[in-house]
Structure 1
Amino acid sequence: MGERFDRIIRGGQVVAQEEVRVLDIGMKDGKIAALAERLEASEETSVLDARGRWVLPGMVDVHVHFNEPNRGHWEGFATGSAALAAGGATCYVDMPLNGLPPTVNVPALRQKEALAEGTSVVDYAFWGGLVPGNLGDLEPLAAEGVPAFKAFLSNPGGEGEERFREVDDVSLLEGMKRIASFGGLLALHAESDAITSALAEAAAREGRTGPLDFVRTRPVIAELEAVNRAILFSEQTGCRLHFVHMSSPEAIDLIDQAKRRGVDVTVETCPHYLALSELDLERLGAVAKCAPPLRDEARIARMWEQLAEGKIDVIASDHSPSPEELKLAPGLSFMQAWGGIAGAQSSLELMLHEGHIVRGIPLPKLAAVLSANPAKRFGLYPRKGEIAVGFDADVAIVDPEASYILSKEDLLQKHPISPYVGRTFSCRVAMTLVRGSVVYEAGSGIQLSGHGIQLRAGALGSVVL
């Protein structure tokens, strides 16, 4: 008798590393046990019919803000992970801000762990943070399994003494030396605070408070200056780098040039920088406000070319939610509104629509930047990120014919605020499985609350892309 499977996904168009093939996927004990044109089911095997549907590796979203502890009213692990599951994501790495306290030491990490355990729908890991004064906390955090550290080169905003702080040049340099000493990975929000702060102050003095005024206070040159400075520090210290949410093709080219010189650096962008422009920001208002800001259509077109050329390593949501009153309250100026786009549920569908259906980018290339590459870079590989024997049975089953218009009622995040409400998507996640279990099904919602487990990546666990 052949191998017995707990579950078989039957006849889907399986998106593998190099190709798309119609295959059966056999799952056993939460792992992918077999891939074949035909697998035999026993009486105990659960069979899911995926004929006519795409079966992709679950998205590995390495950039989300779920804001716990003490800001669960903005978003929490339960609601944020539910939105991810509905969008075909099967694991995430939660940022060290905007929770209070931020995850900049082991006691703060313990608070995050306690809140997520038994709450998250999908699997998860936690970022650590680099802030002024916490050099001694970096290696202990790495020993506890954080896959990387986040630092800001510009003011991250927020209030309170405990809030996450940007690094000055000395803290950045010393932090990079320390992280390099144990082989860790540093990720940067790269905008020059000197440039953005001066331009924001000038706009305030002159009474310029609109959406395009905001864009002009955070120009591309601010991104380029910060990227150049960080790459220089990386070359001097040997610290591995990852640039989050890059918004301009110029910055991506700078990073690509550094890669060619041998710098160990990767670059991430987000769906909103590929699907929304500054014209959408004018039209939509604060719901589409983020930092760095949305750019012009010519830059967006060039970034799609860079994605096709392999110059973009990772796509992550940068899901940054807030209560409605912080974004849309009457009398709140655009400059005062919270900057962050809540897009976790739409990332995969948006990239499949805009990338594959509209622009013809092959599904394996999209799966690489959404799943395999982030898993590799952040120490979750070879457990996560691909549909292959031995990996966790994490998959998103997508109906390529299920066109729909996103409504507020579709959103599972805490606050139904999204720049994509009212947008037509040409495909839809039909089902999401995490370690072989169905956690989400279209039409009936979340199937397994609290199914997610913590992933301890370890600072030395990533793969060079």
Structure 2
Amino acid sequence: MSSQPWVLASQRVVTETGVREAAVVVRDGKVAAVLPPSEVPAGLPVEHVGHKVVMPGVVDCHAHINEPGRTEWEGFETATRAAASGGITTVVDMPLNSIPATTTLAALHLKAAAAEGHCAIDYGFWGGVIPGNTGELDAMVSAGVTGFKCFLIHSGVDEFPHTTREDLERALPVLARRGVPLIVHAELTPDEQPPQGDTRTYRSYLASRPRHWEDDAIRMMVELCRLHRTRVHIVHLSSSDALPDIAAARREGLPFSVETCPHYLTFDAEHIPDGATFLKCAPPIREAENREKLWEGLARGDIDMVVSDHSPCTPALKHLDKGDFAAAWGGIASLQFSLPAVWTGMRERGHGLESLVRWMCRHPARLIGLEGVKGSLTPGADADLLVFDPEASSVPEASQVRHRHKLTPYAGRSLHGVVERTYLRGERIYAQGEFSSSPSGRWVRRPDTA
């Protein structure tokens, strides 16, 4: 890290008080000040980017990196380089799809060892709540996990079994005492059924995971949040029918938050062709009217944030040759493209840069306990900065995809917003297709568990 202070200035800096002309003073990897350009101390080197936007780095608290154990799906080196090129400066890895799953202290140590020295950006880890591992939770919090994830339905991998309400009744008091959140894959059904009929049709897959699965699960989690006062966060909200229950929980003052993902805000069921298994995810992408209600929920504040849910696999597991939604792995590769995908939808609906930073930087940082450290340009925060051109557009080609595998629904799609430079703690790690020579990402823990 350079100790030489320097300044990044622009006519459009997204500050805590709005978008304005400003200069960000960087010292020792931190934001030292955000000043009017005329007040920059003499003698400091200044990089002025004109009308390009300077904003905080994106905080993505939902990505499946899969290493160790399924590194052929994705790994820390490829995932974090893709993230850096997409403006993400902090990522939190999910506890499943790696082998072993991050459900014990020993598994957490293995995950941390696999990541160390290989990450282009800062990173954290979610632990997992599964049946029978309540005794591991305290030690994992002390070791630095961000919080814990559970599934209320089969996770897709046998290493990460789903929890019952009884399992959660045992785990939630521990999480409440330690002050860490439970993040929940909220689908609940007593009689899970695979797609019926012609499983090449998207209609069959959509019908196999109805909205009420999410709605029922969210109602149960509101009840448990009320009982235990544990922070509960719903991941990848797909069903807009759940928004009234979410809003009611907020009015009640419960510690309850929600995210959605770029694919739910971009695509719609009516335009997913039969056999297009690269768009299979769980919960599923729903109808256009549902998508627009999710946007409305974001605008109202019922939905807190947008994160990628980057969940790649080897192309063979998507069964593209057969186009079989029943057989295909569910997950969308999106880490590199989440920022421009969301900004594209925001432009179309009249949302501005301040909302972008709130939904993709500040609120995710708050969830992981790093508000004021990540995701903002407040003095004392890490100098994780982007130079972003919100007017530019691109059509990503497969050759430009930096994930381990090139299969993503964003390839070939026109996207607004181009990340020109990415800085991590004041050091430039990405600029116009080029990366710094060595990865400098660090494990970032919740401040109360560091």
Whether these two folds match at TM > 0.5 is yes
Preserved contact between residue 252 and residue 267 of structure 1 (Cα < 8 Å): no
1:212 equivalent in structure 2: 203
301, 310, 324: which one pairs with 2:315? 324
1:177 equivalent in structure 2: 173
Question: Does 2:253 match 1:265?
Answer: no
Gaps of 5+ in 2: none
Between 1:148-157 and 1:228-237, the stretch displaced more is 228-237
Preserved contact between residue 432 and residue 439 of structure 1 (Cα < 8 Å): yes
Matched residue SS, 1:400: strand
386, 405, 421: which one pairs with 2:411? 421
User: TM-score under structure 2 normalisation?
Assistant: 0.95
Preserved contact between residue 146 and residue 458 of structure 1 (Cα < 8 Å): no
Deviations 1:161-187 (A, max 9, x none): xx1111122112211232223222101
1:234 equivalent in structure 2: 225
Measure, in 1, the Cα distance between the counterparts of 2:16 and 2:163.
Answer: 38
Deviations 1:217-262 (A, max 9, x none): 1010010011111111221222210000001222132112111112
430, 446, 449: which one pairs with 1:457? 446
Measure, in 2, the Cα distance between the counterparts of 1:330 and 1:46.
Answer: 55
Preserved contact between residue 201 and residue 275 of structure 2 (Cα < 8 Å): no
1:335 equivalent in structure 2: 326
1:390 equivalent in structure 2: 380
Preserved contact between residue 184 and residue 459 of structure 1 (Cα < 8 Å): no
Matched residue SS, 2:21: strand
Measure, in 2, the Cα distance between the counterparts of 1:216 and 1:449.
Answer: 47
- Deviation at 1:207? 5.1
2:436 equivalent in structure 1: 447
- Deviation at 1:395? 1.2
Question: Which one-letter code corresponds to 2:390 in the other structure?
Answer: P
2:127 equivalent in structure 1: 128
Question: Which one-letter code corresponds to 2:216 in the other structure?
Answer: E
Measure, in 2, the Cα distance between the counterparts of 1:135 and 1:225.
Answer: 25
Preserved contact between residue 241 and residue 264 of structure 1 (Cα < 8 Å): yes
1:78/1:177 Cα in 2 relative to 1: closer, same or farther (>3 Å)?
same
Matched residue SS, 1:267: strand
Question: Which one-letter code corresponds to 1:167 in the other structure?
Answer: T
1:192 equivalent in structure 2: 188
Measure, in 2, the Cα distance between the counterparts of 1:28 and 1:182.
Answer: 33
Preserved contact between residue 284 and residue 419 of structure 1 (Cα < 8 Å): no
2:150 equivalent in structure 1: 151
2:75 equivalent in structure 1: 76
1:401/1:259 Cα in 2 relative to 1: closer, same or farther (>3 Å)?
closer
Question: Which one-letter code corresponds to 1:384 in the other structure?
Answer: K
1:410/1:27 Cα in 2 relative to 1: closer, same or farther (>3 Å)?
same
1:118/1:264 Cα in 2 relative to 1: closer, same or farther (>3 Å)?
same
Measure, in 1, the Cα distance between the counterparts of 2:98 and 2:174.
Answer: 25
- Deviation at 1:7? 2.4
Question: Which one-letter code corresponds to 2:117 in the other structure?
Answer: G
Measure, in 1, the Cα distance between the counterparts of 2:368 and 2:352.
Answer: 24
- Deviation at 1:5? 5.2
1:33 equivalent in structure 2: 32
Question: Which one-letter code corresponds to 1:118 in the other structure?
Answer: G
Measure, in 2, the Cα distance between the counterparts of 1:431 and 1:416.
Answer: 22
Question: Which one-letter code corresponds to 2:34 in the other structure?
Answer: L
Preserved contact between residue 31 and residue 391 of structure 1 (Cα < 8 Å): yes
Question: Which one-letter code corresponds to 2:55 in the other structure?
Answer: L
1:11 equivalent in structure 2: 10
Measure, in 1, the Cα distance between the counterparts of 2:355 and 2:448.
Answer: 26
Q: What is the count of residue pairs matched by the alignment?
A: 447
Measure, in 1, the Cα distance between the counterparts of 2:434 and 2:363.
Answer: 28
- Deviation at 1:10? 2.3
- Deviation at 1:412? 0.7
Preserved contact between residue 95 and residue 128 of structure 1 (Cα < 8 Å): yes
- Deviation at 1:75? 0.3
Preserved contact between residue 86 and residue 440 of structure 1 (Cα < 8 Å): yes
User: TM-score under structure 1 normalisation?
Assistant: 0.92
Measure, in 2, the Cα distance between the counterparts of 1:235 and 1:17.
Answer: 32
Preserved contact between residue 5 and residue 42 of structure 1 (Cα < 8 Å): no
Between 1:176-185 and 1:290-299, the stretch displaced more is 176-185
1:216/1:184 Cα in 2 relative to 1: closer, same or farther (>3 Å)?
same
1:181/1:390 Cα in 2 relative to 1: closer, same or farther (>3 Å)?
closer
Question: Which one-letter code corresponds to 2:435 in the other structure?
Answer: I
2:338 equivalent in structure 1: 347
Measure, in 1, the Cα distance between the counterparts of 2:271 and 2:420.
Answer: 28
Preserved contact between residue 384 and residue 426 of structure 2 (Cα < 8 Å): yes
Deviations 1:396-419 (A, max 9, x none): 111123221111112111001111
1:280 equivalent in structure 2: 271
Deviations 1:397-448 (A, max 9, x none): 1112322111111211100111111111222011111100111112x32224
Measure, in 1, the Cα distance between the counterparts of 2:386 and 2:232.
Answer: 29
Question: Which one-letter code corresponds to 2:93 in the other structure?
Answer: D
1:164/1:426 Cα in 2 relative to 1: closer, same or farther (>3 Å)?
same
2:287 equivalent in structure 1: 296
Measure, in 2, the Cα distance between the counterparts of 1:455 and 1:303.
Answer: 30
Segments of 4+ moved more than 4 angstroms: 39-43, 206-209, 458-461
Measure, in 1, the Cα distance between the counterparts of 2:103 and 2:14.
Answer: 37
- Deviation at 1:283? 6.1
1:368/1:298 Cα in 2 relative to 1: closer, same or farther (>3 Å)?
same
Which aligned pairs between 1:77-96 and structure 2 lie closer than 5 A? 77-96=76-95
1:424/1:133 Cα in 2 relative to 1: closer, same or farther (>3 Å)?
same
- Deviation at 1:33? 1.1
Measure, in 1, the Cα distance between the counterparts of 2:285 and 2:402.
Answer: 25
1:222 equivalent in structure 2: 213
Identity %, equivalent residues = 35
Measure, in 1, the Cα distance between the counterparts of 2:121 and 2:11.
Answer: 22
1:255 equivalent in structure 2: 246
